[in-house]
Amino acid sequence: MAEKLWQGRFEQPTNRMVEEYTASIHFDSRLYRYDIQGSIAHCRMLADCGIISHDEASLIVQGLGEILREIERGELKLEASQEDIHMAVEHRLMQKIGEVGGKLHTARSRNDQIALDMRLYMRDVIQHCRKLLVDVQESILVLVKQHLGVVMPGFTHLQHAQPVLLSHHLMAYYEMFGRDDERLAECHRRTNVMPLGSAALAGTTFPIDMERTARYLNFPKVIRNSIDAVSDRDFLIEFCAAAALVMAHVSRLAEELILWSSTEFGYVTMSDAFCTGSSIMPQKKNPDIPELMRGKTGRVYGNLMALLTLVKGLPLAYNRDLQEDKEAVFDTVDTVVQTLSVLSKLLPELRFDRERMKEMAAQGFTLATDLADYLVSRGVPFRKAHHVIGQLVQYCLQKDKDLRDCTVEELKQFHKAFDVDVFLLLDVATAVDQRLSQGGTATSRVEEAVQRAEAELAARKKALTNGANV
């Protein structure tokens, strides 16, 4: 068993059960690249500041590069006795280059080291999630442009409300995912701060240059308080909160796909490539992928609550409780990345039943509001018009007929303002294109929204490719 790098103060070896209970290397090993990247920058800064020699720094950097390659080739065996990825890398470094490897940890602690690793990791993760959101939004736009003239019933309370364009309905999700991207961009800005040099909690007595380390690692700024640097995880919680909202929006879309693909709705058919069958019922085609998206949303919510609970009563500064942040964060990352990746591929494969949606768009008296607006345009107060049309709907229900089936004479029984031109409004396509207010469902407004969205996505893709945070 290798001796712990902190063993000097202890008389007894660590109990094997304690080693297993406290070890985090089985999950924080995914940070190896960031840990080595941070160590190389720290080493170079130490040499630049004259704290270690340049020859020592060259030896350390060379050794770290070799360890990186060993890990990526699967040659370095990681064990619970090594505690975490930081200790594993440092232990291997000292095996390779001797005691000079111990100089790497000058002027730093595992406390600021792990804070750095997580910020480096999350910086990349956030930008990756933002690129995946772009993919999802582009997939939505493909559907929107393919189905621009398709009318469907709009819903409130899951009841038919007013006719809308399918494209308008889908663009609502485009907007939701756009706000998700904005939240992630803000989270990235607060994550992109360099904590290394804060040491355990109080800073260091060595004449380090944290700004220099920040430049090596492409951080635009340095943390302003050493205690805050090592003891808070709000940037991780903020990511998980943003991720929870991403999943909430995915789950709402998934729920609609599940409903719409049912026999009762019949609005959409999902590709066989994104469905599964039944082990007993040969006819079944189950929407398992959207169902799992809906289900996995709960685990992301749970991870957020776990992190909030983790930090709610922690005294300053660092406490070992904070080791528990990583599994929740890593699980959230994996879940969101996988979900968005699958969603962007599922969406273009959807096939909508245009005729079914158009047929249903007119059912349930969805044009009632248009008739009320018609009366208002002829000087009838809205509340009076609302009451009149409510009575008309009740009449139609009793007569088992639709609004379009009424004659002018019947309509005039409810208000004298009705005339023959009212029938021009009793068409779902006409009703849709009357909604010309900003953000409305009229075809011209949706076309404007698509043009704006395409320009937005092109600019965001270019910025993300160039490493900008917009």
197, 225, 354 from 35: Cα distances, Å: 14, 22, 54
Q: Which of 57, 18, 27 is nearest to 118 (CA)?
A: 27
b/e code 122-142 from CB counts within 10 Å (16+ = b):
bbebbbebbebbbbbbbbbbe
Active site residue 157: yes
- Contact, 166 vs 150, CB < 8 A? yes
Please name the residue that has the structure tokens 């494209």: 167
Q: Which residues pair with 352 in a beta bridge?
A: 268
Euclidean distance between the first and the last CA atom of the chain, given in angstroms as a whole number: 49
Q: Which of 134, 137, 333 is nearest to 247 (CA)?
A: 333
Q: How far apart are CA 56 and CA 48, in angstroms?
A: 12
User: In sequence order, which residues have a C-beta less than 8 Å from that of residue 112 and are 6 or more positions away?
Assistant: 195, 196, 197, 198, 199, 200, 226, 229, 230
- Contact, 125 vs 246, CB < 8 A? no
- From the centroid of its chain, how far is CA 376? 44
- Contact, 53 vs 62, CB < 8 A? no
22, 213, 231, 334 from 310: Cα distances, Å: 16, 30, 12, 20
Q: Which of 53, 262, 271, 278 is catalytic?
A: 278
21, 189, 251 from 470: Cα distances, Å: 42, 10, 26
Q: How far apart are CA 66 and CA 206, in angstroms?
A: 28
- Contact, 103 vs 186, CB < 8 A? no
Q: How far apart are CA 359 and CA 40, in angstroms?
A: 65
Structural tokens at position 14: 């660590």
Indicate which residues carry an active-site annotation. 157, 278
